[in-house]
């Protein structure tokens, strides 16, 4: 397992690395806002966090390994990452769906870990909600009795969550040298999950900008044409 | 060229018919941009049919949610076609409600416009049904449970409504229900185009030749073109920058027969109708409320006691605006978290709705003559 | 004076007319561009997408093939043999003069550069189309340690070149690329 993770980290090292920007004070993501696009370096770091920590319990049933080329990796790198994953039929290939973990149906008291493919889009608050959830584990206050196998989390509706705190400092080693604090890991994981739910965001905004500018131009000349035509008759 | 056109012209006079029947239509000089709503509705329906056709190539009703994710992720521009279809629905209902509101505001339902008004209402009913079916096809948590509730309620109703409903849904919702709903969704959408065509014919049939007319082309083609482009501009902003507007977030959770959402809300365009329906207790009560709400709309040409041809006076116009606000308020009470306040408000708004049509409108219009 | 005003008005109308025509042409042309831009996604959506290309361009694991054995996969309805060559087989076949072969082909045309230990061929005899034997070392391979056809007795060498028998052409090589040392993608 360690060998596999080390191999994964090395593979991501080979990918083009961007300088790690300070995404934590205050927490913000490059993809937020009307013109924001995904920070590919953050997505790659987030994928590492997902593979190392989250993939043990959470499935990602709508993603294929070939989708990793969206993160700035080449096809060969994505294929290499896929081949480090052991499926029941052998090593994974680019066309395989992300490996679904085998989670016992009675684990977590019946609160099975949800699939994360559309999680960020399905939860109110989206990216920020995921970040807050991952960083808001606290000791329960004195007047709260925790349900068995539950943990106190101020960001979770109902305040008691069945997921144990998944992140800790240096749970992963980032290839581009970013310090792997819990908050950093949470921010990168949130970025990766945002991409997983909306892989077409960059295309959408890029095409959208061109479409809106084109339509504004067309509106202006359409109004001018209409006025010219009407002026002729009166 | 002239040889070619006369060969075609003697066999199928397309150009001549177009010139006479469409481009040469005589219209008044002062038609506002707001008169283009019906054309925008028609254009939106056609656009939805085209995007729906491409979606139906890839949609799998037995794995609805997964097939939609497949379209979004693996089909070339699938995300865009899907966005066209979803945001197109929002634009369509926006234009439809504006069309209806304008008809109410300008008293277009008075004689001889009753049939045109009925056809508008028929289009609204068919569109609401199509929209609801499309919503169930999304196969998210909200879709699944809305369908479960509707099909179950209908199968438990007795008499004609129960029988018709059972025929439509095929009994309580099961694995094969979406397969039949795809067919019904498409069929009803195509029927909408037919009804819109009849609506246009009815409108033209009662139109009076105005005093100083102008031809449709190029005066109103250029005006309709401006309206279409502005419509497309708003559509583009929504599709590319707010693709999930009007969609419940919970519908992005895959349908799960074991997990019921805390609140099951229909898409935004069904909220006012749901508000009126939900003030009743039983499923039959919901249906009766819904039918009553549309019955007063159909009866509007006779509930409005003004003489035909009278433009609406100040009081009538104010009442119309208040009605619009009332329906918007109803929609909001349905999206807010259920509480005593929202319960009371939805009853008040529903009561005002019926009060408007059955009491206030007749009183306000009884004294209006030209 | 009135005539001057009239002429000026005429000129204004004519200029207006010309400007409106240019404007009209520009508007119609721009609208045309817009319609084409909207129509393209509809058309492209029906082109094969990532998933379909995945099925039509599958990726096969070859890293686990033992030397001197062949892996059989099916692609587009045809059996594909992927053979890992031993050093002896490469040495025996690398420098054979192509002209001495029934269907001349040299070593470099049968393998991909950088991955010379792998031979990928369509496993169908080019004479009578039967499936060939020879993937397993214990199969009848013929004197060249390649493949043999059980139907008409054609013999092939480990590079898939025909050496004898009714067949006259070398085994077909499908379209494929090496993604890395252990994975090849067809198509």
The CATH fold assigned to B26-257 is: Cytochrome Bc1 Complex; Chain C (1.20.810)
Neighboring chain B residues of A226 at a CB cutoff of 8 Å: 222-223, 225-226
Contact B226 A219 (CB under 8 A): yes
Per the CB < 8 A criterion, the answer to whether B45 and B185 are in contact is: no
- Residue C50 CA to residue C46 CA, distance in Å, equals 12
- Put simply, whether B54 touches C (Cβ < 8 Å) is yes
pLDDT at B6 over 90: no
Neighboring chain C residues of A64 at a CB cutoff of 8 Å: 50, 54
Hey, what are B226's tokens?
Answer: 């401006």
Radius of gyration of chain A (CA): 22
- Residue A10's alpha-carbon distances to A14, A175, B39, B207, in angstroms, are 7, 7, 59, 75
**Mutate: best of B230, B240, B244, B263, partner A, most A CBs <10 A:** B240
Length of chain B: 370
Hey, what are B338's tokens?
Answer: 């259920």
Contact C45 B50 (CB under 8 A): no
The nearest alpha carbon in chain B to C24 belongs to B222
- Domain residue ranges in chain A: 2-199, 201-234
Residue B43 pLDDT level (bands cut at 50, 70, 90): very high
Nearby residues of A197 by Cβ (< 8 Å), 6 or more positions away: A117, A118, A119, A120, A121, A122, B252
Residues C182 and C102 in one domain: yes
Residue tagged 């807010």 (tokens): B336
Nearest to A55 by CA among A193, A180, A181, A168: A193
Q: A residues 141-200 near B, CB within 8 Å? A: 197, 199-200
- Residue C128 CA to residue B212 CA, distance in Å, equals 85
Residues C112 and C71 in one domain: yes
Residues C72 and C164 in one domain: yes
Contact B75 C49 (CB under 8 A): yes
Considering CB atoms only, which of B54, B73, B225 is closest to C45? B54
Q: A residues 86-115 near B, CB within 8 Å? A: 114-115
- Put simply, whether A218 touches B (Cβ < 8 Å) is yes
- Put simply, whether C31 touches A (Cβ < 8 Å) is yes
Residues C89 and C171 in one domain: yes
Q: Name subunits touching C (3+ CB pairs < 8 A).
A: A, B
The nearest alpha carbon in chain B to C44 belongs to B76
Q: Which domain holds residue C80?
A: 54-186
Neighboring chain A residues of C30 at a CB cutoff of 8 Å: 214, 217-218, 221
Residue B296 pLDDT level (bands cut at 50, 70, 90): very high
Taking residues B306-321, report their average pLDDT: 92
Considering CB atoms only, which of B54, B70, B232 is closest to C51? B70
Share of chain B above pLDDT 90, in %: 74
pLDDT at A140 over 80: yes
Q: What is the CATH number of domain A2-199?
A: 1.10.760.10
- Residue B214 CA to residue B257 CA, distance in Å, equals 60
Q: Name subunits touching B (3+ CB pairs < 8 A).
A: A, C
Q: Which residue has the higher pLDDT, C15 or B339?
A: B339
Residue tagged 């056709």 (tokens): B53
Taking residues A127-140, report their average pLDDT: 94
Nearest to B319 by CA among B104, B94, B109: B104
**pLDDT confidence of residue A19:** 44
Residue A16 pLDDT level (bands cut at 50, 70, 90): very low
Residue B324 pLDDT level (bands cut at 50, 70, 90): very high
Contact A219 B230 (CB under 8 A): yes
Q: Name subunits touching A (3+ CB pairs < 8 A).
A: B, C
DSSP B360: I
The CATH code of the domain that includes C98 is 2.102.10.10
User: Facing residues of C83 across strands?
Assistant: C70, C119
- Domain residue ranges in chain B: 26-257, 267-370
Nearest to B346 by CA among B278, B268, B260, B256: B278
Q: How many domains does chain C have?
A: 2
Q: Are strands A151-152 and C162-164 parallel, antiparallel or unpaired?
A: unpaired
Residue C122 pLDDT level (bands cut at 50, 70, 90): very high
Per the CB < 8 A criterion, the answer to whether A40 and A18 are in contact is: yes
């Amino acid at each position: 397992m360690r060998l596999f993770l080390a191999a994964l980290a090395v593979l991501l090292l080979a990918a083009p690395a961007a300088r790690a920007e300070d995404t934590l004070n205050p927490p913000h993501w490059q993809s937020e806002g009307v013109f924001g696009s995904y920070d590919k370096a953050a997505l790659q770091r987030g994928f590492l966090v997902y593979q190392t920590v989250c993939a043990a319990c959470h499935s990602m049933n709508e993603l294929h390994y070939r989708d990793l080329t969206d993160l700035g990796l080449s096809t060969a790198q994505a294929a290499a990452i896929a081949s480090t994953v052991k499926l029941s039929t052998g090593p994974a290939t680019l066309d395989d769906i992300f490996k679904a973990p085998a989670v016992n149906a009675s684990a977590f008291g019946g609160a099975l870990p949800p699939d994360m493919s559309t999680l960020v889009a399905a939860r109110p608050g989206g990216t920020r909600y995921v970040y807050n959830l991952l960083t808001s584990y606290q000791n329960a206050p004195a007047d709260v009795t925790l349900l068995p196998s539950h943990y106190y989390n101020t960001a979770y509706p109902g305040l008691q969550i069945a997921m144990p705190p998944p992140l800790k400092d240096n749970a992963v080693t980032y290839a581009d040298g970013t310090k792997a604090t819990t908050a950093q890991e949470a921010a990168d994981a949130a970025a990766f999950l945002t991409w997983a739910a909306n892989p077409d965001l960059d295309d959408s905004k890029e095409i959208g900008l061109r479409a809106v500018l084109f339509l504004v131009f067309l509106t202006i000349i359409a109004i001018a044409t209409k006025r010219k035509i009407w002026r002729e008759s009166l | 060229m002239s040889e070619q056109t006369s060969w075609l012209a003697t066999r199928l006079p397309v150009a001549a018919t177009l010139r006479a029947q469409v481009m040469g239509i005589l219209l008044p000089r002062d038609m506002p941009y707001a008169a283009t709503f019906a054309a925008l509705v028609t254009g939106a329906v056609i656009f939805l049919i085209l995007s729906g056709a491409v979606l139906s190539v890839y949609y799998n009703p037995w794995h609805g949610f997964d097939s939609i994710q497949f379209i979004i992720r693996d089909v070339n521009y699938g995300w865009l076609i899907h966005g066209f279809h979803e945001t197109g629905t929002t634009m369509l209902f926006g234009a439809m409600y504006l069309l209806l509101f304008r008809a109410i505001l300008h008293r277009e339902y008075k004689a001889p416009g009753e049939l045109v008004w009925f056809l508008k209402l028929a289009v609204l009913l068919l569109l609401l049904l199509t929209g609801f079916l499309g919503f169930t096809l999304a196969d998210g948590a909200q879709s699944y449970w809305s369908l479960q509730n509707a099909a179950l309620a209908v199968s438990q109703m007795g008499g004609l409504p129960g029988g018709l409903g059972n025929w439509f849904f095929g009994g309580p919702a099961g694995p094969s229900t979406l397969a039949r709903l795809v067919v019904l969704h498409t069929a009803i959408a195509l029927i909408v185009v037919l009804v819109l065509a009849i609506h246009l014919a009815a409108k033209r049939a009662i139109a009076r030749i105005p005093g100083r007319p102008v031809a449709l082309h190029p005066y109103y083609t250029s005006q309709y073109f401006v309206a279409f482009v502005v419509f497309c501009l708003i559509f583009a902003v929504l599709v590319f920058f707010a693709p999930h507007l009007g969609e419940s977030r919970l519908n992005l959770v895959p349908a799960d027969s074991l997990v019921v959402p805390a609140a099951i809300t229909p898409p935004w365009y069904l909220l006012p109708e749901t508000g009126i329906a939900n003030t009743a207790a039983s499923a039959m009560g919901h249906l009766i409320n819904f039918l009553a709400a549309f019955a007063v709309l159909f009866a509007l040409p006779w509930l409005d006691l003004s003489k035909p041809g009278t433009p609406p006076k100040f009081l009538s116009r104010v009442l119309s605006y208040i009605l619009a606000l009332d329906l918007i308020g109803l929609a909001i009470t349905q999206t807010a978290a259920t509480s005593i306040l929202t319960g009371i408000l939805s009853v008040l708004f529903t009561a005002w709705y019926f009060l408007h049509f059955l009491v206030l409108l007749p009183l306000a219009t009884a004294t209006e003559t030209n | 004076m009135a005539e001057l005003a009239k002429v000026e008005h005429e000129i204004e109308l004519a200029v207006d007319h010309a400007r409106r025509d240019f404007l009209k042409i520009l508007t119609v042309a721009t609208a045309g561009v817009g319609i084409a831009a909207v129509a393209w996604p509809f058309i492209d959506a029906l082109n094969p997408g990532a998933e379909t290309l995945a099925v039509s361009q599958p990726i096969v694991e070859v890293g686990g093939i033992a030397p001197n054995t062949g892996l059989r996969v099916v692609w587009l309805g045809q059996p594909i043999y992927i053979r890992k060559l031993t050093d002896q087989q490469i040495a025996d076949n690398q420098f054979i003069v192509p002209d001495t072969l029934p269907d001349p082909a040299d070593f470099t045309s049968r393998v991909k550069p950088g991955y010379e230990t792998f031979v990928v061929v369509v496993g169908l005899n080019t004479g009578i189309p039967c499936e060939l034997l020879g993937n397993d070392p214990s199969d009848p391979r013929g004197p060249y340690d390649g493949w043999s056809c059980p139907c008409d007795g054609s013999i092939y060498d480990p590079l898939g070149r025909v050496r004898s028998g009714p067949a006259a052409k070398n085994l077909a090589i499908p379209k494929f690329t090496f993604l890395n040392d252990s994975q090849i993608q067809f198509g």
